[in-house]
Amino acid sequence: MGRAELGLDRPRLTVADLLREAWLSLAGHPARSLLTALGTVLGAAAFVATLGLSSTLAHQVADSFDVRRATEVTARGARADAPSWQEPSALARLGRLNGVRVCGARVILPERPVSRSLGEGATPLQTQVSGVDAGALAVISPRVVLGRAFDSYHDTDAQPVVMLPAAVARGLGVHRVGVAVFIEDRPYTVIGIFDDVARRPEALVSVLVPYAVAQPMAALSSGEVKRDVVIETEPGAAQLVGAQAALALAPEDPARVEVVVPPDPRTLRQEIEGSVARLALVLSLVALGIGTVSIGNAATAGIVARTAEIGLRRAVGARPRHIFSQLIAETTLLGTLGGFLGAVGGIVITVVVALANGWQPVVDVTTALSATAAGAGAGLLAGLLPAWRATRIQPVVAIAR
Amino acid sequence: MSAALLTLTGIAKSYHDGAPVHALLPTDLRVDEGDYVSVTGPSGAGKSTLLNVLGLLDLPTEGSYEVAGVETVRAAESLRVAIRGQWFGFVFQSFALLAGRTAVENVELGMLYRAIPARRRRALAMAALDRVRLAHRAHADPRTLSGGERQRVAIARAIAASPRVLFCDEPTGNLDSGNTDNILDLIGDLHADGQTVVVVTHDSKVARRGVRHVHVADGIVREAPAAQRHQRGR
């Protein structure tokens, strides 16, 4: 075909030379390159920051729900007298429900004076008193640091015993078990002191007495008496048990019982992540579009400014495909760099915002990588039209200028 | 000894912009190895069209153009690209240097689309800069160079890979007379070393340096008698 006859090489451009040319073109006009890539930088930053902040927030949400509290269901009514839904038969029905580990009745009495002794010189503490049966005690699971917990004997026989929270014991000057404390004017034997509870944190400030002991106190109480049934469920069964508890406790009138179920942390987290992820997706699609258009526009405008350069390249032996690949390489490189810069910016934003709020920043590397890849894709896409246009430029323009 | 390097036979170029415009009427022209041809003529007379056709930058509308005996007009574009890149060197009035690249990088650009390794390109570029006495400014930004120096960089780019023909389009059009003499001396030296040169100019001072003189007016290409005598004398 003539080339061999003249001893000519096939015009070629190695990949290394192509990338070097693209880089030289970009680095030779830093301001132009920066402006061109700006849309992609912002888009990638928005994408990474939105997703980073949403996972940081979701992490926070997950953190604030511990597993134990997620297995906690409470059923309560407003009536002060011992209601039928707190009776053993009702509790037995509830206990047979799938997912119920243990349940029990509790009666919470308004604050009343608790003291170490009676008479002059006694300094009573105004303290809430709760009556708990064996089941409720198991749900609350107080961590006993001294002495022991109640057993069914204390409950069924209405033994006058108390368990004191460590703070109350300290306030009363009780440092051992076996001593008496007075609730109002009646003595009770301290059999245990606890410093923590697994569930129902409000029990930490409440003197615990057996359920049967609290009943007559409730009958005589002037203030508001609260009653509830506390339930520990199997992990993940809280919602199910919550839906059935009222019917099991009060089949004749379930509306009398109000059931409180903890928010499901997984649902909550998914809700947050889902909505933020959708937002991030929309945001980043918009940003990606902006990035593509901005690179495309700048590249198209650049073609006019670079007509002489392209003509020169054609004159010194570039084939149209060399021109095409160089321009595509330039926009793709710009998009990649823009995406990378934006990803770094997004990470910085995430970390700064998280630290400013005292959160643990959660940054997903794949997010940053996909932002960079999206930038590259935007650059490639944006380059197609201007690169094709550039191939139409004839070498003769090198002379015409 | 002289072999026909470039042979135009019945080459014509017309544009169809409503009514046909004849930029170049049917022309025969032969450029031999070692020639120094200057092409003159008023603006718009067709000398740029002649240069574009000779440099394979543009296709004629009729006729045949052989490079070393190989017909190019009806050949594949890739052949013209290869000849342009490997046999021809171009020097433009506007220098056409790329900003943001050093002088030596600009020189290397002339060899980019060839099977020459980067290291060899750098060596050839440095040798070419040395040839135009600009080795000391190899790493300068062209914007910091004077007009004459820029044109010398452009000449280095054109000759770095030893082209068979050096085409110069108004090489001194943007230069003062001192720099013009420098550039013309340089082109003269290259010719003295055997370089085939085609210079297009409207400046008679530049044209006088040529050995053969071709005049283009109204699309008609005519070789001046002095050059014909010279050709006969060879």
Look at B109 and A313 and tell me if their CB atoms are within 8 Å.
yes
Residues of B whose CB is below 8 A from A322: 113
Say yes or no: A318 contacts chain B, CB-CB below 8 A.
Answer: yes
Mean pLDDT throughout A379-388? 92
| Interface mutation vs chain A, best among B113, B153, B155, most A CBs within 10 Å | B113
What CATH number corresponds to the domain at position B89?
3.40.50.300
Across the interface, of B85, B94, B98, the residue whose CB is closest to A317 is B85
pLDDT band of residue B234 (cuts 50, 70, 90) is: very low
Say yes or no: A212 contacts chain B, CB-CB below 8 A.
Answer: no
Mean pLDDT throughout A185-212? 90
Q: Which 3 state secondary structure label does DSSP give A330?
A: helix
Q: Which residue of A has its CA nearest to B160?
A: A316
**pLDDT at residue B23, as a whole number:** 87
Q: Give Cα separations from A113 to A125, A163, B45, B110 (angstroms).
A: 5, 15, 117, 99
The ipTM assigned to this model is 0.91
Mean pLDDT throughout B14-36? 88
**pLDDT at residue A283, as a whole number:** 78
**pLDDT at residue A234, as a whole number:** 87
Across the interface, of A1, A316, A396, the residue whose CB is closest to B113 is A316
Q: Which residue of B has its CA nearest to A395?
A: B57
Say yes or no: B71 contacts chain A, CB-CB below 8 A.
Answer: yes
Residues of B whose CB is below 8 A from A9: 82, 86, 114-115
Q: Which 3 state secondary structure label does DSSP give A224?
A: coil
Beta-strand pair B19-32/B196-200: unpaired
Query: How many Cβ atoms sit within 10 Å of the Cβ of residue B147?
Result: 15
Across the interface, of B72, B82, B100, the residue whose CB is closest to A10 is B82
Mean pLDDT throughout B85-89? 93
pLDDT at residue B232 above 50?
no
Query: How many Cβ atoms sit within 10 Å of the Cβ of residue B143?
Result: 9
Residue B28 lies in a domain: no
**Cα–Cα distance measured from residue B94 to residue B73, given in angstroms and rounded to the nearest whole number:** 28
Residue A233 and residue A71 in contact, taking contact as beta carbons nearer than 8 Å: yes
Residue B85 lies in a domain: yes
pLDDT band of residue B46 (cuts 50, 70, 90) is: confident
Say yes or no: A96 contacts chain B, CB-CB below 8 A.
Answer: no
**pLDDT at residue A47, as a whole number:** 85
> Which tokens go with A331?
């926009």
Q: Which residue of B has its CA nearest to A30?
A: B100
**Cα–Cα distance measured from residue A161 to residue A142, given in angstroms and rounded to the nearest whole number:** 15
Which residues, at least 6 apart from B119, have a Cβ–Cβ distance to it below 8 Å? none
pLDDT at residue B229 above 60?
no
pTM of this structure: 0.67
Measure in Å the smallest separation between the Cα of B82 and chain A Cα atoms. Answer: 6
**pLDDT at residue A78, as a whole number:** 53
pLDDT band of residue A201 (cuts 50, 70, 90) is: confident
**Cα–Cα distance measured from residue B125 to residue B135, given in angstroms and rounded to the nearest whole number:** 9
CA atoms within 13 A on the CB side of B120: 7
User: What residue numbers bound the domain in which B171 lies?
Assistant: 35-59+79-233
Q: Which residue of B has its CA nearest to A317?
A: B85
Look at A318 and B94 and tell me if their CB atoms are within 8 Å.
no
Q: Which of B153, B131, B151 is nearest to B140 (CA)?
A: B153
Mean pLDDT throughout A207-230? 88
The mean pLDDT of chain A is 86
**Cα–Cα distance measured from residue A374 to residue A291, given in angstroms and rounded to the nearest whole number:** 10
**pLDDT at residue B16, as a whole number:** 81
**pLDDT at residue B8, as a whole number:** 94
Q: Which of A353, A269, A339 is nearest to A48 (CA)?
A: A339
Residues of B whose CB is below 8 A from A8: 79, 82-83, 86-87
pLDDT band of residue A243 (cuts 50, 70, 90) is: confident
In chain A, % of residues over pLDDT 90: 33
pLDDT at residue B233 above 50?
no
**pLDDT at residue B169, as a whole number:** 92
Q: Which residue of A has its CA nearest to B141?
A: A28
pLDDT band of residue A82 (cuts 50, 70, 90) is: low
> Which tokens go with B230?
């010279």
pLDDT at residue A3 above 50?
yes
pLDDT at residue B147 above 70?
yes
Q: Tens digits of per-residue pLDDT, A108-118? A: 998 888 988 88
Angle subtended at Cα A181 by Cα A179 and Cα A182, rounded to the nearest 5 degrees: 150
> Which tokens go with A214?
């609290």
**pLDDT at residue A267, as a whole number:** 67
> Which tokens go with A9?
């090489």
pLDDT at residue A32 above 50?
yes
**pLDDT at residue A69, as a whole number:** 66
Mean pLDDT throughout A31-50? 86
**pLDDT at residue B2, as a whole number:** 58
Which residues, at least 6 apart from A182, have a Cβ–Cβ distance to it below 8 Å? A113, A114, A115, A116, A117, A118, A122, A124, A188
Q: Tens digits of per-residue pLDDT, B171-227? A: 998 889 889 999 999 999 999 999 999 999 988 899 999 999 999 998 899 988 754
Alpha helix stretches (DSSP H) within A227-264: 238-249
In chain B, % of residues over pLDDT 90: 70
- Residues 7-46 on A with a CB inside 8 Å of B are 8-13, 16-17, 20-21, 24-25, 27-29
Higher pLDDT, A271 or A95: A95
Domain count, chain B: 1
Which residues, at least 6 apart from B136, have a Cβ–Cβ distance to it below 8 Å? none
Look at A28 and B101 and tell me if their CB atoms are within 8 Å.
yes
In chain A, % of residues over pLDDT 70: 93
Residue B121 burial (10 A CB sphere; 0-12, 13-18, 19+)? buried
Q: Tens digits of per-residue pLDDT, B96-133? A: 898 889 999 999 999 999 888 999 999 999 999 999 99
Q: Which 3 state secondary structure label does DSSP give B5?
A: strand
Across the interface, of A9, A17, A315, the residue whose CB is closest to B86 is A9
**pLDDT at residue A334, as a whole number:** 92
Number of inter-chain CB pairs under 8 A, A vs B: 129
Residue B201 lies in a domain: yes
DSSP labels for A43-76? HHHHHHHHHHHHHHHHHHHHHHS-TTGGGEEEEE
Secondary structure of B112-147 as H, E, C letters: CCCCCCHHHHHHHHHHHHHHCCCHHHCCCCHHHCCH
Look at B112 and A21 and tell me if their CB atoms are within 8 Å.
yes
Say yes or no: B189 contacts chain A, CB-CB below 8 A.
Answer: no
